[in-house]
Amino acid sequence: MVRPAHRRPGQSRKAQYSLFVAYVIAVTGAIAGLLLALLSVVDPVGFAQLRVASQEVAAPVARVTRSITGSISGVDDSISAYVKAGTQNRRLRNELADARRKLVATSALQEENRQLKGLLKLQQTDKAALAHGYLLTSTSTSSRRIALLSIGRNLGVASGQPVRGADGLIGRVLSAGPSVSQVLLLTDVDNIVPVRRARDGLPALSSGRGNGFLDVRTLNIANNPFKPGDILVTSGTGGLYPPNIPVAIVVSRQDDGALARPLADPGRVDAVAVLRPYTPDNIEAQATLAPNPDAAP
Amino acid sequence: MNRAAPRLGEPASLWRMRIVPIASVMIASALPLMLPVVASSPALPPLGLLFFLCWQLLRTEMWPVWIGLPLGLWDDLFSGAPIGSAVALWTAASIAIHYISQRIYWRGFFHDWGIAALLVAAVQAAAALIAHPGSPPGHLLGLVAPQIVISMLLVPLFLRLTGQFDNFRLKRR
């Protein structure tokens, strides 16, 4: 039983005023906070620098805890894995059978592709990563999906650069601090990525659902063309993400598009690469940087 | 003179009385960003908010009403929510607790649990709505619903923990 509060200040004028002032401060502060929040939603980059300081504080601890325990993959994943084990097992069997069939078809294509690329001397152009780091930790209590990258401005990371893992796209750099930077993950509700279907180049937009899945919508709404198992890669439209980075695999169809699962799980990915944004001057710079393989016979 | 033994009537350390509640909320706010977990959904309960509410339910008069301003700002820095949202929502929550504590004169355990659960749900839902103004509200509420349920079930544990911290806070040397 909690003791009741003696909030009534009695006859003392001083006590009355101080209580009143406390409420005035609280209400004006709350309204100012609300306005600040709306401002920082509109202009997330402007206020991101404020948060960088706190992350520089959190990063050393996160580095230590990560080195002690290793990267624990998403807590929520392991919980939902128990719930969905049966259906998941069946689905995975089907996917495996599909994948085996595709693998045979792909290996022939890959060989052909390699020869064609050799002819075009293009294989070097997409390998220029700016820097490599690993994901330290992420926000886990709010609805934003922001991860902390272990490198920052010290290695040339700047806001707006795409981040990818070995399996596929992770997200983009939101803001860079002196030694850590924030990465807006692919699954964040506000992260919209222009993609295309790998099979036939059908353009679409993917946006995060905030719970580890992606919504995929086509740009033309004639009919719903997606099938479970479709692979989506970045299209390079919009000039941020370089083309042909694997993004997601379609899990199920929905009324207005499809539900997709990211191919790279940020909870399990080991190292990530920070790439240059896909802007015209960067593309030209990379083209000139690419080594000339004419020397080989 | 034996300085190690507590003397009769000696009050608890003033610094400890002030710092323990604030430090517990601040550490709880910063802790999720220090764990090596890359979560794919808002799965962890908002530890800082739970401690903040539990302290206010246990000791309503300990803090002034505006304590949500600095503590909320600190939480915003670590939670990833737009800066200012917790400032507003935590202060609103503490005003609500002060109001309720005048309405319900003798609060029991189930009162506290109910109030904390209601406020956690309101604050987390409102924070999600503020953070993503363009998204459909139904989807956002579905996104934070599991976290709200987990937090509601954890309220008694946090009340207990706060009680333990309170005992430590008021312990006489």
Whether A144 and chain B come into contact, CB under 8 Å, resolves to: yes
Q: Which of B10, B106, B18 is nearest to B55 (CA)?
A: B18
The answer to whether residue B78 scores a pLDDT higher than 60 is yes
Whether B118 and chain A come into contact, CB under 8 Å, resolves to: no
Burial of A226 (0-12, 13-18, 19+ CB in 10 A): buried
- Position A124 scores a pLDDT of 46
Tokens 């710092």, residue located: B19
In 10 A of CB A295, how many CB atoms? Answer: 6
- Position B151 scores a pLDDT of 94
Q: How far apart are CA A209 and CA A259, in angstroms?
A: 9
Whether A267 and chain B come into contact, CB under 8 Å, resolves to: yes
Look up the pTM and report it: 0.81
Whether A70 and chain B come into contact, CB under 8 Å, resolves to: yes
Look at B80 and A144 and tell me if their CB atoms are within 8 Å: yes
The answer to whether residue A26 scores a pLDDT higher than 90 is yes
What CATH number is given to the structural domain containing A216? Answer: 2.40.10.340
Burial of B147 (0-12, 13-18, 19+ CB in 10 A): buried
Looking at beta carbons, which residues of chain B come within 8 Å of A208?
A: none
Residue B155 lies in a domain: yes
Residue A39 lies in a domain: no
Residue A48 lies in a domain: no
Q: How far apart are CA B45 and CA B116, in angstroms?
A: 13
Residue A35 lies in a domain: no
Q: What are the structure tokens assigned to A125, written together?
A: 């152009």
Quick one: closest CA in B to A47, which residue?
B83
Look at A190 and B102 and tell me if their CB atoms are within 8 Å: no
Number of A to B CB contacts under 8 A, please give it: 240
Mean pLDDT of chain A: 79
Residues A62-115 have pLDDT tens digits of 888 777 765 454 455 666 667 778 888 888 888 888 887 788 778 777 767 766
Residues A152-171 have pLDDT tens digits of 888 888 888 999 888 889 99
Q: Which of A177, A175, A205, A176 is nearest to A191 (CA)?
A: A205
Residue B96 lies in a domain: yes
A37 vs A124, which has greater pLDDT?
A37
Whether B38 and chain A come into contact, CB under 8 Å, resolves to: yes
Residue B7 lies in a domain: no
Domain count, chain A: 1
Looking at beta carbons, which residues of chain A come within 8 Å of B146?
A: 76
Mean pLDDT of chain B: 89
Look at B77 and A51 and tell me if their CB atoms are within 8 Å: yes
Is residue B50 very low, low, confident or very high in pLDDT (cuts 50, 70, 90)?
Answer: very high
Whether A181 and chain B come into contact, CB under 8 Å, resolves to: no
Residues B134-150 have pLDDT tens digits of 888 888 898 899 999 99
Residue B3 lies in a domain: no
Residue B95 lies in a domain: yes
Residue A11 lies in a domain: no
Residue A264 lies in a domain: yes
Quick one: closest CA in B to A149, which residue?
B38
Q: What are phi and psi of B75, to 5 degrees?
A: -65, -40
Contact A62, A133 (CB under 8 A): no
For residue A263, the enclosing domain spans 75-288
User: How far A201 CA lies from chain B's nearest CA (Å)?
Assistant: 27
Q: Which of B31, B33, B35, B40 to mutate to test the interface with A (most CBs of A within 10 A)?
A: B40
Quick one: closest CA in A to B31, which residue?
A58
* DSSP 8-state symbol, A246: E
User: In terms of C-beta distances under 8 Å and separation of at least 24 residues, what long-range contacts does A71-74 make, across chains too?
Assistant: A71/A134, A71/A135, A71/A267, A71/A268, A71/A270, A71/B36, A71/B38, A72/A267, A72/B35, A72/B36, A72/B37, A73/A265, A73/A267, A73/A268, A73/B38, A74/A212, A74/A265, A74/A267, A74/B37, A74/B38, A74/B39, A74/B40, A74/B41, A74/B43
Share of chain A above pLDDT 70, in %: 78
Window 74-93 of A: residues touching B by CB (8 A cutoff) are: 74-77, 79
Quick one: closest CA in B to A70, which residue?
B36
Residue B86 lies in a domain: yes
Burial of A292 (0-12, 13-18, 19+ CB in 10 A): exposed
The answer to whether residue A122 scores a pLDDT higher than 50 is no
Residue B166 lies in a domain: yes
Q: How far apart are CA A136 and CA A60, in angstroms?
A: 10
Looking at beta carbons, which residues of chain B come within 8 Å of A185?
A: 40
Residue A216 lies in a domain: yes
For residue B52, the enclosing domain spans 14-34+41-170
Domain count, chain B: 1
Residues A198-250 have pLDDT tens digits of 888 888 999 998 888 999 988 776 677 888 888 888 988 888 888 888 899 99
What CATH number is given to the structural domain containing B98? Answer: 1.10.1760
Query: Mean pLDDT highest for which of A9-13, B37-41, B93-97, B98-102?
Result: B93-97
Residues A201-210 have pLDDT tens digits of 888 999 998 8
The beta-carbon neighbor of B37 closest among A7, A58, A75 is A75
A292 vs A22, which has greater pLDDT?
A22
A17 vs B105, which has greater pLDDT?
A17
- What length does chain A have? 297
Residue A60 lies in a domain: no
Q: How far apart are CA A176 and CA A48, in angstroms?
A: 9
